[in-house]
Structure 1
């Protein structure tokens, strides 16, 4: 009777020991498989590929991949915990120009794709939801190309770092442009009830009086508004010489065409955000893009150079045209600069551990193709813009004249001075 008990005891001990050996082997195998799987650094980028902001997202991922081409050819970036260089791989997720979709895309990149770093660009509609996801999941995130004031409104941030200009800079650029032409200094404002529209309205109200201007503000309204008749009538009654719109491209196209149809042709028509790209200017048709003024985020004429490739802004623009056959665009510089920042961070961190990456981002101090990037205690690196005017071109159907460079003297002014809107009475 004693022997069977001993056999059972021996069997149980054997089973426990065997289970422990399997578990240990399994742990070792799991660790090894993770290391074997980690053959690259995975960056997730949320980008408006479709929808009304698709013109902002155009060029991704070609621009980003071109920026890191040489680094990947050399094996990538050294990561200490793996004892080797790892190339960079980029996954692009479409925000569909929607804050809700941007959040969904960010969550998928973090939870399913297991990205090492998150990136986002192109207006608060994309950037703010992605930043919120990064904060919630505690993953390093680098963002560009969203009005800094609107981005800051979603803070404070512990994991997200942003590089762009502030609305104060934007308004100064417009005021400096308007000062160049004789007007009655009455401004009609078209600004929807979104983060950008609210931010520019608040700053305009604080600044215009000191510069001798009067603001005619019909109030905020929903994006995708189709009828601007009431606003147009208000502007006509106030006899405005200047109109400023802060809208997405299709909304501005609707408003500008209705202004023309209803007999409102201001001396100066400025549009923030809506006419950054030549394709959007061309889409207005009937030469309605002539002499429209806007902010210029980045220009081939900028004197800044890439820390990755050593290319000047002009050389970077030429590379883009050679690669695609297309005209360089304002967002090209920021797309390239975002990769400059990421590569600089990873080279200094030499790690994929989240806190080490975050500390490296915090210590960023780099000259990029869009200017100097160094984050402050609110995780913001402020950049600057110049003012430009669309004119009929020689190389391209529509080309940009730089007519104000007070915020960035490194960008030279174009020879041609600023002009009135055709059909207006100077």
Structure 2
């Protein structure tokens, strides 16, 4: 797909790797929408996309086509445990700047082999970290347990989500331990989960009342059925995966995400606006719903910010036609975006800027069947609380 903005002359090509087919196709919706929305507004930029086909191989091929056939000066992407690193690695090899998001920065950075002494040269990222998730979830756990902190059960797989959550230095575990929480982690399960009775039994034996997870919606449903059958008295479930997208009610009743607490990285209530045209977060969400007929979703704000940062880098680069100059411009970027303030000059590691997190919960809504309600705003200045945390029923 190509989006022209009517600019004549030497427009700089921005390549976009977006999933349009395969199992991640729904994750590509916000990026595809924002690309069409911003193309007429980004003067001097030509936007061209390629389908990742929801695979690492497809992602690498997409980068090759964007660079060799379209002359992309910068490549943008988001989402996909295997796809996003494949895009970034392909750009690093091709020596073309890449900007990505919606992937915990520790996995992006250390998982691809960088160190503080050996950072990437061409690839840049903005997101929250696994430690930020742990801090946000601990805020929610403590709103239920207070100072009487019981054990927290873990529902983690044997894939990268689970292994990185367990990482002793860069993962979720050390941050949770630093807050004084004891984690109960049964043996890792393989996706898709055929049954999680053993996990439920282990958590019941440990006296767990709160569970934290990085499960898919399907596996979360398996766990909740097993917990109900066992009579496990859960007060809260926090989950960091697949919770960015609105739940859909099923013929058998509530979706597995109902009343599950999660992280909130963007919403219409966030007090941010676009550096391109001043559009607010609320206006962006409204425009998306009006144009697509679908409920707003969290990645929308970060997808928009990708283009904001790309435009800023191309405008401020000493030579926008020189990939090294564009990369240097990203690394020097400090910009207020519709996804919040982004600062690559003071990131936790080189090449990374962070995104602030709030605590939220999927609750029955007024406008939509289920809505993401902000229930804890202490880490996001200016973000209003939308409601109270509801105990699991």
Superposed counterparts of 1:18-417, under 5 Å: 40-71=11-42, 76-77=43-44, 87-96=45-54, 98-153=55-110, 154=112, 155=114, 156-182=119-145, 185-202=150-167, 203-264=171-232, 266-278=234-246, 280-282=247-249, 286-288=253-255, 289-349=257-317, 351-376=320-345, 378-414=350-386, 416-417=387-388
Q: CA offsets, 1:314-365, max 9 Å, x none?
A: 1111111121122110001000000100111111225222122122222211
How far apart, CA to CA, are the structure 2 residues paired with 1:49 and 1:91? 10
Match of 1:33 in 2: none
Task: Note the alpha carbon deviations across 1:388-411, whole angstroms, 9 max, x for none.
Answer: 011111111111211111221221
**Distance change >3 Å, CA 204–CA 137, structure 1 → 2:** closer
1:55 and 1:277 in contact (8 A); partners too: no
Task: Check 1:342–1:204 CA distance in 2 against 1; reply closer, same or farther (3 A cut).
Answer: closer
* Count of paired positions: 370
Alpha-carbon deviation of 1:63? 1.4
* Structure 1 or 2: more helix by fraction: 1
Detail structure 1 runs of 4+ shifted over 6 Å in the superposition: none
Equivalent residue for 1:80? none
Structure 1 portions without partners, runs of 5+: 1-36, 78-86
CA contact (8 A) 2:273 2:280 kept: yes
Q: CA deviation at 1:158?
A: 0.4
Partner of 1:6: none
Query: Would the aligned equivalents of 1:119 and 1:141 in 2 still touch at CA under 8 Å?
Result: yes
Name 1:7's counterpart in structure 2.
none
- Cα distance, 1:284 vs. partner? 9.2
For residues 35-60 of structure 1, give each alpha carbon's deviation from its aligned partner in whole angstroms, at most 9, with x where no partner exists: xx986433222223344444432233
Relative to 1, partners in 2 of residues 1:338 and 1:124: Cα closer, same or farther, differing over 3 Å?
same
TM-score in terms of structure 1 length: 0.80
Q: Any conservation in 2 of the 1:185–1:212 contact (CA below 8 Å)?
A: no
Based on CA coordinates, which of the two structures has the bigger radius of gyration? Answer: 1
Separation of aligned partners in 2, 1:386 and 1:284: 31
- Report the TM-score when normalising by structure 2: 0.86
Tell me how far apart the structure 1 counterparts of residues 245 and 357 of structure 2 sit (CA, whole Å). 15
For 1:54 and 1:263, locate their aligned partners in 2 and report how far apart those are by CA, in whole Å.
37
Partners of 1:192 and 1:223 in 2: CA distance: 7
Kindly report the root-mean-square deviation, in angstroms, between the aligned alpha carbons of the 2 structures.
Answer: 2.4
Gaps of 5+ in 2: 1-7
